[in-house]
Structure 1
Amino acid sequence: MTTTAKSEKDRVVIFDTTLRDGEQCPGATMTHEEKLEVAELLDDMGVDIIEAGFPIASEGDFAAVHEIATRAKNAVICGLSRAAFKDIDRCAEAIKPAKRKRIHTFLSTSPVHMKYKLQKEPHEVLDMVIAQVTRARGHTDDVEWSAEDATRTEHDFLCRCVEAAIKAGATTINIPDTVGYTVPEEYFRLIKMLRDRVPNSDQARFSVHCHNDLGMAVANSLAGVNGGARQIECTINGIGERAGNAALEEAVMAINVRNDVLPFWTGINATMLTRASKLVSAATSFPVQFNKAIVGRNAFAHESGIHQDGMLKHTQTYEIMTPETVGVKQTSLVMGKHSGRHAFVHKLEELGYKLGDNQLEDAFTRFKALADRKKQIYDEDIEALVDEEIAHAQDRVKLVSLSVIAGTRGPQRATMKLDIDGRGMLEECEGNGPVDAIFNCIKTLVPHEAVLELYQVHAVTEGTDAQAEVSVRLAEKGRSVTARGADPDTLVASAKAYLGALNKLMVRRQRGGVAVSESRVHSTDVG
């Protein structure tokens, strides 16, 4: 970043919506504890506003927002609400404990949304804007108003709505590209037009919220900042509905690295970006693509001979930022079966993990077992091992043992032992292939109606002894959960992934007041 004095007019406020818009991504639902952990890290990292959830959506969402508001140290805690007064009042109740709080309320303004979604005329929508902002302002001085589908809204009407919202007390005006439709030049002109045409535009901060349907969310966000916006709404790893949101790590590092053409600054501690990425990926069971900018596995990897030669001569030949600036160590220990506990702890710290004593001991035991089965242990192997340890530490149903008979002669059979709430249960099932047999065992031991929507396998590292990482998505009553399992044995990884998703569904049923299905009584009890 530039060494010249920082001006407040050039400060870009970071509004993180990982816990709200990010969690709306199908299958990305987090547990209560995971939300609290993510919020704490965002707060420590320097995020200015944390949009903690949508309080009216469910009791679980309300409880998470309320607890995050209670624990927050520095960040403004924000809740989302629709235009309805009951939404706004519920949001105000959820964020009440926060030292600094914001209500974010929104309303559609585009012709297509007003006609088909709201079924209201423009003058009715304008009246609703004034009413909802006035109601929110009665609860807090910090009110953000969003014009949903702003980029497809007629300019004259958008100007009237923005002016009315500011006059009613909105201190932040968000101009979202809700469907990822705009392009940078167009979005720049839209933000600039609003700031030029709306008479009281100087009384509010303008914000950008861009979706990535055409792959331009970050580019559009930065174009909006160039047009005069001073708040970027974004998510860790760019998660979110459909193709996702603008990625926080990309927007922040674009400003840091290209400060010559983006002369702005943020309060984000960039060295925590990789740690945040790993935490959100583990909590949501959404893997980060290898070539993801800033935090992807290959972001600072070089295999090409030409690139390696250049890097050995000078790192800047092929790297525009150093790994350390985003929390990645450039050098790493080669881990194997001869590595001790101290080296293992050091490696975990390099990778951004901090484990409790019991978790550390369990992870180290599993690491040594893996090292006995593999010639070389890669960073990705350790990440998969620890992510699984963290994700499944509180599971009610755990895999104890598994043996499978497979091959061309058939039938394929699986014998499985599970620990279910402290009881050992054993079952043997046939299936149309070994994976089907395994999943049939689970369904027999833990009866449920969930539908398997996704079963996906990929190797964590190269080689025939690579760990397999399996992703499983289960759907129940219109909601989906995703979990991952890793193991050198693909079938064991498959069982772990399915059980991980099933445990998430159990937590959801408990929170929803629905009793968890008991294990079938005629299974062999070996506990």
Structure 2
Amino acid sequence: MRRIEIFDTTLRDGEQSAGVNLHLHEKLEIAHQLERYGVDVLEAGFPASSRGEFQAVQQIARTVKNCVVAGLARSTERDIDAVWEAVREAAQPRLHVFIATSPIHMEYKLRMTPEQVLETAVAAVRYGARHFSDIEWSAEDATRSDWDFLALIIERVIDAGATVINLPDTVGYITPDEYKRMFQYLLERVPNIHRVKLSAHCHDDLGLAVANTLAAIEAGVHQVEGTINGIGERAGNASLEEVGVALAIRKEYYQATTRLNLRETVHTSKLVSKLTGMVVPPNKAVVGVNAFAHESGIHQDGVLKHKLTYEIIRPEMVGWTSNSMVLGKHSGRHAFREKCAELKLELSEAEFEQLFNAFKALTEKKKEITDDDILALYMEMNSQAADSKYELQFLHVWYGTNGTTTATVGIRCPDGRVVEEAATGKGSVEAIYNTIERALGTSLQLIDYRIQSTTGGRDSLAEVYVKVETEGWTGNGRGVDNDVLAASAKAYLDAINRIHLKQQWEQSTTTGSSAHA
């Protein structure tokens, strides 16, 4: 049984999803959970893109010990140096360097000849080998590249020091049979290919990312790349949880396994969903809330008689377990501490007390507290503690179906002052946002506004996600509260705080362009 290595790029390719902007503490939270999940390689980010990104990759490299930590670089010495400085303290550092190899990318994006691309790729790998013993080289848009040119450039970068060769389906164009044949062709034509690991990285533009990834495994690749929940640019990446479960359920067919702790699947999915604001569709395979729901009478009858009639995956296998311990207003510190441990929350004593107090305050408004409620409180606590500049002190809204809505807010500023202001709007949310803008003396455009509940029931916590823009800067915010309007105000302020933080980061560095490996 072959072991397939899992390369997770949630924090790099996943964060390139439109509208996703993670704080440092959020990236660390996801990184530690991915480590618990059992990924073999964690791509922490693109260090040369900004000072903030560099710091995040560096912190992850310093704290994650049980898997390889990789940083992405274009084929330039500046980018490669940035990766080395960011991951040099990792227990297992890796350089991930890429260049495009398809005719359309070489001509229109790079404006380079194939000979120049070959020379640049070899020089980049050779330069990286001065520091790194583990170098992954990626041929961007490999699936639209000439196979003979791929064979040539792969042979040369292996000789230059590459240890992993990644052939991405960057635009989600290829079919499973074609992808499989491409790997088989290169295995036959590249004389030194036995010296490296082969990797597959698939995008989901045609909905084939997981199918293509599994086809690559059949072809003999050693590593597969993807993201949690399949997030990523455009239609996203291969969903790692789907690949991992497919190999577990069909292990007799694929004769391959991973070291993923599949019982951490649902928890990992929920964490990434909440921190990125990207909601998991109910019908999503493995982690969607409907993945193990049966409404049809025929299906229900079959499952009641024998679960395997309609369930090929045991819910417990991926972490769908029912709560045996219900928390409420009478629960004490011991029970709450046990629940925090179960949810893998790493808390100092001060943080535990702060979260416990927030939990007790919630029990005055909500009878039963779910895991999702606790996770929401935890993330809200961290969001307020880290890099916070403006904080909501109070909110009053006057609303009538036939009149103008008026909102009054109090906002604590970074210097400790509390600014109070009032404004009107056509509705409650518009009035609140007009008031915040007036209080802070800024003008913002609301790009996106989404609301969801943590659980069912009228007493559920409201989670609001927004995206705002001001003077060319965009920021995403998240707010949690029992009250929808308070959650909306918190989300707006969170977005403003993130924009200010981003501006501070960008002022001290030259921003690199986005990477699309």
Shift of 1:64: 2.2
Quick check: 446-455 or 149-158, which moved more? 446-455
Q: In 2 relative to 1, CA 456–45 (structure 1 residues): closer, same or farther, beyond 3 Å?
A: closer
Which residue matches 1:403? 396
- Alignment counterpart, residue 230 of structure 1, candidates 222, 237, 247: 222
Give the SS at the match of 2:165. Answer: strand
Which residue matches 2:485? 491
Which residue matches 2:437? 443
- Alignment counterpart, residue 123 of structure 2, candidates 103, 128, 131: 131
Q: In 2 relative to 1, CA 451–254 (structure 1 residues): closer, same or farther, beyond 3 Å?
A: same
Write the letter of the residue equivalent to 1:442. I
- How far apart, CA to CA, are the structure 2 residues paired with 1:225 and 1:330? 34
- How far apart, CA to CA, are the structure 2 residues paired with 1:41 and 1:366? 23
1:416 and 2:446 matched: no
Q: In 2 relative to 1, CA 478–190 (structure 1 residues): closer, same or farther, beyond 3 Å?
A: farther
- Does structure 2 retain, via aligned residues, the 8 Å contact 1:26–1:480? no
TM-score after normalising by structure 2? 0.89
Which residue matches 2:9? 17
- Alignment counterpart, residue 180 of structure 1, candidates 159, 167, 172: 172
Which residue matches 1:328? 320
**What is the root-mean-square deviation of aligned Cα atoms in Å?**
2.6
Write the letter of the residue equivalent to 1:410. G
- How far apart, CA to CA, are the structure 2 residues paired with 1:279 and 1:465? 22
TM-score after normalising by structure 1? 0.88
Which residue matches 2:273? 281
Give the SS at the match of 1:240. Answer: coil
- Alignment counterpart, residue 424 of structure 2, candidates 430, 449, 469: 430
Write the letter of the residue equivalent to 2:84. A
- Alignment counterpart, residue 35 of structure 1, candidates 23, 27, 33: 27
Q: In 2 relative to 1, CA 431–16 (structure 1 residues): closer, same or farther, beyond 3 Å?
A: same
* Higher-RCO chain (CA-CA 8 Å, sequence separation at least 6): 2
Which residue matches 2:97? 105
1:472 and 2:447 matched: no
Aligned residues: 506
Shift of 1:148: 0.6
Shift of 1:38: 2.4
Q: In 2 relative to 1, CA 126–266 (structure 1 residues): closer, same or farther, beyond 3 Å?
A: same
Write the letter of the residue equivalent to 2:241. E
- Does structure 2 retain, via aligned residues, the 8 Å contact 1:328–1:350? no
Give the SS at the match of 2:254. Answer: coil
- Does structure 1 retain, via aligned residues, the 8 Å contact 2:171–2:205? yes
- CA deviations on 1:343-380 (whole Å, 9 max, x unpaired) are 55555555554544444444444445544445665554
Shift of 1:147: 0.8
Write the letter of the residue equivalent to 1:125. V
- Does structure 2 retain, via aligned residues, the 8 Å contact 1:472–1:483? yes
Shift of 1:172: 0.9
Write the letter of the residue equivalent to 1:387. M
- How far apart, CA to CA, are the structure 2 residues paired with 1:289 and 1:388? 23
Q: In 2 relative to 1, CA 342–315 (structure 1 residues): closer, same or farther, beyond 3 Å?
A: farther
Which residue matches 1:200? 192
Which residue matches 1:524? none
- How far apart, CA to CA, are the structure 2 residues paired with 1:114 and 1:261? 39
- Does structure 2 retain, via aligned residues, the 8 Å contact 1:34–1:283? yes
1:221 and 2:231 matched: no
- Does structure 1 retain, via aligned residues, the 8 Å contact 2:227–2:238? yes
- CA deviations on 1:179-222 (whole Å, 9 max, x unpaired) are 11112111111111111222222121110011111222111111
- How far apart, CA to CA, are the structure 1 residues paired with 2:91 and 2:343? 33
- How far apart, CA to CA, are the structure 1 residues paired with 2:295 and 2:357? 32
- Alignment counterpart, residue 389 of structure 1, candidates 374, 381, 391: 381
- How far apart, CA to CA, are the structure 1 residues paired with 2:439 and 2:375? 30
Write the letter of the residue equivalent to 2:490. K
- How far apart, CA to CA, are the structure 1 residues paired with 2:351 and 2:280? 23
Which residue matches 1:83? 75
Which residue matches 1:512? 506
Write the letter of the residue equivalent to 2:16. Q
- Does structure 1 retain, via aligned residues, the 8 Å contact 2:50–2:505? no
Which residue matches 2:449? 455
- Does structure 2 retain, via aligned residues, the 8 Å contact 1:211–1:243? yes
Aligned identity (percent) is 48
- Alignment counterpart, residue 146 of structure 1, candidates 138, 142, 148: 138
- Does structure 2 retain, via aligned residues, the 8 Å contact 1:403–1:416? yes
- How far apart, CA to CA, are the structure 1 residues paired with 2:26 and 2:451? 25
Shift of 1:484: 2.5
Q: In 2 relative to 1, CA 500–299 (structure 1 residues): closer, same or farther, beyond 3 Å?
A: farther
- Does structure 1 retain, via aligned residues, the 8 Å contact 2:102–2:141? yes
Shift of 1:306: 4.8
- Does structure 2 retain, via aligned residues, the 8 Å contact 1:275–1:353? no
Shift of 1:246: 1.3
Q: In 2 relative to 1, CA 140–467 (structure 1 residues): closer, same or farther, beyond 3 Å?
A: closer
1:248 and 2:235 matched: no
